[in-house]
């Protein structure tokens, strides 16, 4: 009791951040081990991490407590050359059959292949308006952090926790610390949200965010579209932070208006008032604050096997001999050996075999629109396989309506159906041997893209397009003549 | 639901080298095509243990000296990347009952505690000394004691850390939280109703 009084008292002295507000509103109680029992507003599931959870429920004889708070789709194992069933891979087919059985048995909303709304779970949630400010959202997938772009507390969970949420709509959670990451000034032309994410991870490290929620703010985030905010929040986990968020504002509300699951009519007005109240108070307390100057951010690419192995496109590949510690030397050596890249040489000019535009980081409509604006009149270099994989069926449909798919295919890209695809290659889209892939996805781990010796270089979608055209890692600003003088042909407001 | 209190774990140990070991490395994505966790031990560290032809390349986990090890030793940021519980499940199903590392990624840590496999942190130096001792004598018994938060082996011991709540959950048999979560049904209903959405 005393603790509660002290907390209320202290909240009078200083403001609260969004994380604290949402946490307090969703706290059901305190468990015996000291963790909080946190209520989960919306639960997203997919075929890879949910079947075992439903199995555990069955073993325990438990039901799904609030079926209307869970939403399902299928993304990881879906083939993208054709979504027709049966899939060639019987295991993949068994997984989708299992998901269908589970959602039918428990009365869960499911965006299936035939719905026209299927896609990567982190693209579907926002698209449908399920992702809303001030909510708690979980999914058995670490990139659930994406939904934080709307001012939700959203984080990835394991399968045993998926079971907990299905059975109780709650989780045993430890409260995180909150780090405010403030990016001020203006991004230079040709620098994208992806570069901001890679830059932050490079600065703070792949484990820098352990124990923290990241609150992103400053003029760069204020000016960002929802989709750009999602790109950065998505990669919070690559920086070790379990969740990342941006305070909700007019941009958030405009995105949500008229989405299928967004509140309507008078409910909308009430929701707006409420949503605004979740934003961090101007005098909110943070455990830590990091200031970043937008002008310092260049188009960024990775050279190694961890997302914090990032360098500006103009920089050279690190030299292990210049490492500051023996551990750093070891880690650079290991990365270079795997990547088969020369120390001290420019990253620009590294030959590329595959180009991949897609994933929950950069497979949204704005990503394809942006690239399409520049791609006209260019051709994918000989010998390069280039894949464009929309993150959802809705994204695919809009691209087709706007003729964007044609621009990609005319340039030599293969236009595929919606899914995770080569982001982690659980479907047939895989690197072969030690192929090097210029990728708009989020992880450059060893073997991530389907070949145990495959190599991944992370970058923004426009940089992937530039790499596809040049057949090597290139500076998109040069390839597409993006200069300080020239306005982006695609104004942000249209995204 | 009866679950066991975990006060200590004892067994032989094996060191898995490398910092920032991600869950894709612990279990490559192609092994995730399953609807139960039963057969996951097979895929454990597969791509670092076997070459393209499926032949073992001499990884510590395939070294017969360390066969039967139940304690895994690792470096920092172990288990980063994907939230897939397949990673700790494959480690558990391969016979491991505890991991000692410099640090753990958060989701991996929670997933491991949730299945009753303690993850404890020790200093780089202490883990290195233990690794050397294990290499010299693979039959060395290593004990992780969660009550006094110490690892001991032979005549040596060193302090370890773990968040209080996880330690509490393990030693008081509450690591599987489902029972406790279910108990508060009334409070859950109340919270659900008080929420201004769905
Ligand atoms: S696109 Fe990649 S990171 Fe995103 S959910 Fe799919 S596999 Fe995971």
Q: Which two tokens stand for residue A130?
A: 């399920």
Burial (Cβ within 10 Å: 0-12, 13-18, ≥19) of residue A328:
middle
Q: pLDDT averaged over chain A?
A: 94
Contact B197 A134 (CB under 8 A): yes
**Answer CATH for A313-477 from 3.30.499.10, 3.40.30.10, 3.40.50.720, 1.10.630.10:** 3.30.499.10
Q: Which of A25, A55, A453 sits opposite B36 (nearest CB)?
A: A55
pLDDT at A487 over 60: no
Contact A194, A228 (CB under 8 A): no
SS3 label, residue B90: helix
SS3 label, residue B66: helix
Q: Answer whether A147 contacts ligand 1 (Cβ < 6 A).
A: no
Residue A86's pLDDT band, with cuts at 50, 70 and 90, is very high
The total domain count for chain B is 1
Q: How far apart are CA A183 and CA A168, in angstroms?
A: 39
Within 8 A by CB and 6+ apart from A471, the residues are: A351, A352, A381, A382, A383, A384
Query: What confidence score (pLDDT) does residue A96 get?
Result: 97
Residue B2's pLDDT band, with cuts at 50, 70 and 90, is low
Q: Is B171 on the interface with A (CB under 8 A)?
A: no
Query: What confidence score (pLDDT) does residue B1 get?
Result: 52
Give the residue extent of every domain in chain A: 18-290, 313-477
Residue B162's pLDDT band, with cuts at 50, 70 and 90, is very high
Render A298-326 in DSSP notation, one character per residue.
--EEE-SSSTT-EEETTSBPP-GGG-SSH
Residue B3's pLDDT band, with cuts at 50, 70 and 90, is confident
Q: Would residue B131 count as lying in a domain? A: yes
CA closest to B31 among chain A residues:
A426
Residues of chain B positioned with their CB less than 8 A from the CB of A263: 197
Name the packing angle between helices A404-411 and A393-401 (round to 10°). Answer: 80
pLDDT at A7 over 70: no
Render A328-397 in DSSP notation, one character per residue.
HHHHHHHHHHHHT--TTSBSTT-B-SEEEE-HHHH-SHHHHHHHHHHHTT--PPTT-EEEE--SBHHHHH
What are the C-alpha distances in Å from A63 to residues A73, A219, A261, B111, B195? 20, 46, 24, 22, 22
Q: How far apart are CA A111 and CA A114, in angstroms?
A: 8
Bond before A39 cis per omega within 30 degrees: no
Query: What confidence score (pLDDT) does residue A4 get?
Result: 44
The DSSP output letter for B9 is: E
Q: Which two tokens stand for residue A110?
A: 């499911």
Residue A14's pLDDT band, with cuts at 50, 70 and 90, is confident
Map tokens 């394991």 to a residue: A158
Residue B130's pLDDT band, with cuts at 50, 70 and 90, is very high
Q: Is B36 on the interface with A (CB under 8 A)?
A: yes
Q: Is B34 on the interface with A (CB under 8 A)?
A: yes
Q: Is B17 on the interface with A (CB under 8 A)?
A: no
pLDDT at A35 over 70: yes
Centre of ligand 1 from the C-alpha of residue A246, in Å: 21
Q: Which two tokens stand for residue A334?
A: 């290991």
What are the C-alpha distances in Å from A355 to residues A181, A351, A440, A457, A468? 31, 11, 8, 10, 6
Query: What confidence score (pLDDT) does residue A1 get?
Result: 37
B173-184 CB burial, b ≥16 within 10 A, e <16: bbbbbbebbbeb
Q: Once rounded to an integer, what is the mean pLDDT over residues A339-347?
A: 98
Within 8 A by CB and 6+ apart from A158, the residues are: A49, A140, B83, B84, B85, B88, B107, B110, B111, B114
What are the C-alpha distances in Å from A417 to residues A199, A212, A360, A414, B73? 31, 36, 14, 10, 42
Please tell me the total number of residues recorded for chain B in this structure. Answer: 198
Distance from CA of B161 to the nearest CA of A (A): 15
Test the B interface: residue of A21, A28, A171 with most B CBs within 10 Å: A28
Q: Answer whether A169 contacts ligand 1 (Cβ < 6 A).
A: no
Query: What confidence score (pLDDT) does residue A375 get?
Result: 97
pLDDT at B187 over 80: yes
Query: What confidence score (pLDDT) does residue A485 get?
Result: 53
* Within this chain, domains A18-290 and A313-477 share the same CATH topology: yes
Q: What percentage of chain A reaches a pLDDT higher than 90?
A: 94
The DSSP output letter for A433 is: T
Share of chain B residues as helix, strand and coil, in percent rounded to the nearest 5: 40, 20, 45
Query: What confidence score (pLDDT) does residue B11 get?
Result: 98
Q: What is the tens place of the pLDDT at every residue in B36-93?
A: 999 999 999 999 999 989 999 999 999 999 999 999 999 999 999 999 999 999 999 9
pLDDT at B127 over 90: yes
pLDDT at A425 over 50: yes
Q: Once rounded to an integer, what is the mean pLDDT over residues A107-130?
A: 98
Residue A201's pLDDT band, with cuts at 50, 70 and 90, is very high
Q: Is B84 on the interface with A (CB under 8 A)?
A: yes
Query: What confidence score (pLDDT) does residue A12 get?
Result: 56
Indicate which atom in ligand 1 lies nearest the CA of residue A424: 7
Query: What confidence score (pLDDT) does residue A2 get?
Result: 38
Surface of B (107-166) touching A: CB under 8 A: 107, 110-111, 114-115, 163-166
Q: Once rounded to an integer, what is the mean pLDDT over residues A212-238?
A: 98
Query: What confidence score (pLDDT) does residue B198 get?
Result: 76
Query: What confidence score (pLDDT) does residue A484 get?
Result: 65
Map tokens 């403030």 to a residue: A182
User: How many other C-beta atoms are found inside a 10 Å radius of the C-beta of residue A286?
Assistant: 17
Residue A310's pLDDT band, with cuts at 50, 70 and 90, is very high
CATH of the domain at B92: 3.20.19.10
Is B187 or B19 the better-scoring residue by pLDDT? B187
**Answer CATH for A18-290 from 3.40.50.300, 3.40.718.10, 3.30.499.10, 3.40.50.720:** 3.30.499.10
Domain span at B61? 8-194
Q: Which two tokens stand for residue A105?
A: 């048995």
């Amino acid at each position: 009791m005393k603790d509660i009084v002290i907390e209320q008292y202290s909240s009078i002295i200083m403001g609260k951040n969004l994380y604290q507000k949402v946490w307090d509103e969703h706290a059901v109680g305190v468990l015996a081990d000291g963790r909080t029992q946190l209520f989960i507003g919306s639960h997203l599931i997919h075929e890879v991490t949910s079947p075992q959870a439903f199995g555990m429920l069955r073993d325990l004889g438990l039901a799904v407590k609030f079926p209307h708070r869970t939403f399902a789709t299928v993304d990881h194992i879906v083939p993208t050359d054709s979504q027709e069933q049966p899939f060639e891979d019987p295991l993949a087919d068994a997984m989708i059959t299992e998901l269908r059985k589970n959602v039918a048995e428990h009365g869960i909303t499911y965006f299936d292949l035939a719905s026209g709304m299927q896609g990567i779970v982190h693209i579907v949630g926002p698209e449908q308006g399920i992702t809303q400010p001030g909510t708690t959202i979980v999914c058995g997938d670490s990139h659930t952090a994406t939904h934080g772009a709307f001012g939700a507390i959203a984080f990835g969970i394991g399968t045993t926790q998926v079971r907990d949420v299905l059975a109780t709509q709650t989780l045993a959670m430890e409260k995180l610390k909150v780090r405010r990451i403030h990016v001020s000034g203006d991004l230079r032309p040709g620098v994208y949200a992806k570069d901001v994410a890679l830059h932050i991870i490079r600065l703070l490290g792949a484990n820098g965010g352990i124990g923290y929620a990241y609150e992103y703010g400053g003029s760069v985030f204020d000016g960002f579209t929802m989709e750009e905010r999602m790109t950065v929040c998505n990669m919070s986990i690559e920086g070790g932070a379990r969740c990342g968020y941006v305070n909700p504002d007019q941009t958030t509300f405009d995105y949500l208006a008229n989405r299928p699951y967004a509140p309507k009519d008078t409910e909308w007005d009430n929701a707006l008032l409420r949503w605004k109240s979740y934003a961090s108070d101007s005098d909110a307390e943070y455990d830590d604050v990091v200031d970043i100057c937008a002008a310092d951010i260049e188009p960024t690419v990775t050279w190694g096997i961890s997302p914090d192995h990032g360098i500006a496109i103009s920089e050279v590949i690190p030299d292990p001999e210049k490492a500051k510690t023996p551990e750093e030397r070891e880690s650079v050596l290991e990365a270079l050996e795997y990547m088969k890249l020369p120390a001290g040489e420019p990253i620009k000019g590294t030959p590329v075999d595959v180009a991949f535009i897609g994933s929950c980081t950069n497979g949204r409509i704005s990503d394809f629109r942006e690239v399409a604006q520049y791609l006209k009149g260019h051709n994918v270099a000989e010998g390069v396989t280039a894949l464009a994989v929309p993150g959802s069926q809705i994204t695919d449909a809009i691209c087709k309506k706007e003729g964007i798919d044609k621009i990609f295919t005319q340039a030599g890209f293969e236009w595929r159906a919606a899914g995770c695809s080569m982001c982690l290659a659980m479907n047939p889209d895989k690197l072969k041997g030690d192929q090097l892939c210029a990728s708009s996805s989020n992880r450059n781990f060893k073997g991530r893209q389907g070949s145990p010796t495959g190599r991944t270089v992370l970058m923004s979608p426009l940089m992937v397009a530039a790499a596809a055209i040049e057949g090597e890692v290139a500076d998109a600003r040069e390839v597409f003549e993006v200069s300080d003088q020239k306005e982006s042909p695609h104004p942000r407001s249209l995204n | 639901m009866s679950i066991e209190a975990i006060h200590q774990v004892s067994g032989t140990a094996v060191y898995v080298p490398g910092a920032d070991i991600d869950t894709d490395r612990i279990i490559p994505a192609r092994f995730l095509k399953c609807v139960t966790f039963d057969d996951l031990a097979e895929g454990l560290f597969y791509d670092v243990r076997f070459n393209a032809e499926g032949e073992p390349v001499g990884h510590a986990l395939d070294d017969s000296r360390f066969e039967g090890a139940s304690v895994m030793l690792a470096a920092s940021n172990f288990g980063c990347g994907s939230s897939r519980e397949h990673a700790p499940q494959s480690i558990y199903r391969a016979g491991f009952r505890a991991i000692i590392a410099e640090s753990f990624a958060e989701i991996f840590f929670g997933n491991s505690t949730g299945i009753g496999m303690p993850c404890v942190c020790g200093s780089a130096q202490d883990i290195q000394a233990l690794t050397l001792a294990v290499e010299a004598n693979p039959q060395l018994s290593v004990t992780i004691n969660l009550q006094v938060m110490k690892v001991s082996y032979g005549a040596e011991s060193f302090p370890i850390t773990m968040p209080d709540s996880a330690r509490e959950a393990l030693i008081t048999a509450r690591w599987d939280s489902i029972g406790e979560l279910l108990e508060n049904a009334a409070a859950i209903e109340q919270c659900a109703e008080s929420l201004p959405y769905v």
